[in-house]
């Protein structure tokens, strides 16, 4: 049985779909602070399979003890966390508590239950403004410029030292690049609260008429067209990488890091054009000054995951754009 924390969220709900499809037994733990039970219900309908659901908080030690007593958990896929960079700057203590304390409470509960396999949702943000491109797993991490990034690095380092102290643990830190897209059914997808911070949800809400135009943050970067370059990865590819990582850490104990990206960098204007082309919709935009804290370019070297996990992203930009639009068009107001 797999414990999936944060399984009602954007990426977690796609993970739940893959797990149920692959016949894993799953218990989801989520406090629904940034998600909706509808996502879980839809995944159960889509797969024709049921999961267990516990509404609870990863910081609640009693809840975790009960959960590990009730279910025979073999491994944990740990997605639960707060993820807004801007919000973390305004509320750092809330982010430290939720993401760092929450992960610590979870690890302690795992140790008590003798469950020592965990796959963690980390982020390319741990590389800061990267010292080299493409980014390999040996590219040095740097002190993150925001509290959210700090929580990811802190949890990675806690887990690394845990493995050092007890080699019977097996840990995967998966450093995501920019997850986008949605399941091709249009049944589950990203449903940000309020005005989206991230590029693709913003474009999708312009397309559906909820927002008027996109602000392109910065056209004077040292990139081919001056706008920021990122490595966008389809969420379905991303979650498949987790299954490969889970298999790997079961056979090879230790602390492992993998970049989950495609290796391709696309600019903001590339993304606008790709969305327009795939969906035949105009996206009005305006060039604006840079957004504080943004870097010029960030894309992965995906070769370690290809070699060790036998996993590689397969879905291209056109699919990412078509699936984003399918989800947004059929759910113009998300799950609400
Ligand atoms: P999301 O907000 O959609 O999902 C996170 C889920 O965790 C939500 O369902 C939320 O209710 C739950 N949660 C949060 N705090 C909790 C707590 N204390 N106890 C129980 N449940 C809690 O976010 P997402 O985009 O699906 O991200 C999943 C993970 O991937 C996060 O850890 C995030 O930091 C990481 N990540 C996301 C991105 C991205 O761009 N989406 C990039 C890199 C890493
Ligand atoms: N952008 C715009 N307009 C917008 C939103 C974004 O021009 O309205 C630009 C940004 O300036 C950047 C690019 O689009 O150049 C991508 O921005 P996102 O906000 O979508 O993503 P980021 O790369 O800034 O950050 C994401 C996640 C972080 C994670 C990071 C690295 O949001 O949580 O990737 O994995 F840390």
Strand ranges inside 103-168, DSSP E: 117-123
> Residues with Cβ within 6 A of ligand 2?
83, 85, 123-125, 176-178, 197-199, 202, 214-218, 228, 230, 268, 291, 294
Query: What whole-number distance in Å separates Cα of residue 187 and Cα of residue 302?
Result: 29
Total H helices, total E strands in the chain: 12, 14
Atom of ligand 1 nearest to the CA of 32: 11
Helix (H) or strand (E) holding 2: strand 2-5
pTM: 0.98
User: Is 80 a pocket residue for ligand 1 (Cβ < 6 Å)?
Assistant: yes
**CB 126 within 8 Å of CB 149:** yes
Q: Which residues of the chain have pLDDT under 50?
A: none
Ligand 2 centroid vs 95 CA: distance in angstroms?
19
- Among 10, 95, 148, 299, the active-site one is 148
User: Is 176 a pocket residue for ligand 1 (Cβ < 6 Å)?
Assistant: yes
Query: What whole-number distance in Å separates Cα of residue 336 and Cα of residue 206?
Result: 18
**Is 248 one of the annotated active-site residues of the chain?**
no
The pLDDT value recorded for residue 145 is 85
């Amino acid at each position: 049985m797999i414990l999936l924390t944060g399984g009602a969220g954007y990426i977690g709900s796609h993970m739940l779909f893959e797990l149920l499809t692959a016949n894993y037994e799953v218990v989801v733990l989520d406090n629904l602070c940034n998600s909706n039970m509808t996502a879980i219900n839809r995944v159960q309908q889509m797969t024709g399979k049921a999961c267990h659901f516990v509404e609870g908080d990863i910081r609640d030690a009693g809840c975790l003890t009960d959960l590990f007593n009730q279910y025979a958990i073999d491994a944990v896929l740990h997605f639960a966390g707060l993820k807004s960079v801007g919000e973390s700057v305004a509320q750092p203590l809330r982010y430290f508590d939720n993401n760092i304390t929450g992960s610590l409470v979870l690890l302690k509960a795992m140790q008590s239950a003798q469950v020592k396999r965990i796959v963690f949702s980390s982020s390319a943000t741990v590389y800061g403004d990267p010292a080299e491109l493409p980014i390999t797993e040996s590219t040095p991490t740097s002190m993150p410029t925001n509290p959210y990034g700090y929580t990811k690095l802190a949890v990675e380092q806690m887990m690394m030292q845990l493995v050092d102290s007890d080699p019977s643990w097996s840990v995967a830190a998966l450093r995501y690049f920019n997850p986008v897209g949605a399941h091709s059914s249009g049944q589950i997808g990203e449903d940000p609260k309020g005005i989206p911070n991230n590029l693709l949800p913003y474009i999708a809400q312009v397309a559906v008429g909820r927002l008027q135009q996109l602000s392109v943050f910065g056209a004077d970067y040292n990139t081919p067209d001056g706008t920021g370059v990122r490595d966008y990865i389809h969420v379905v590819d991303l979650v498949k990488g987790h299954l490969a990582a889970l298999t790997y850490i079961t056979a090879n104990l230790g602390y492992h890091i993998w970049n989950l990206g495609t290796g391709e960098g696309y600019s903001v204007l590339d993304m606008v054009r790709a969305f327009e082309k795939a969906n035949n919709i105009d996206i009005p935009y305006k060039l604006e000054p840079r957004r504080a804290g943004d870097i010029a370019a960030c894309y992965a070297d995906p070769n370690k995951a290809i070699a060790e996990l036998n996993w590689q992203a397969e879905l291209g930009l056109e699919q990412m754009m078509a699936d984003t639009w399918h989800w947004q068009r059929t759910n113009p107001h998300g799950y609400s």
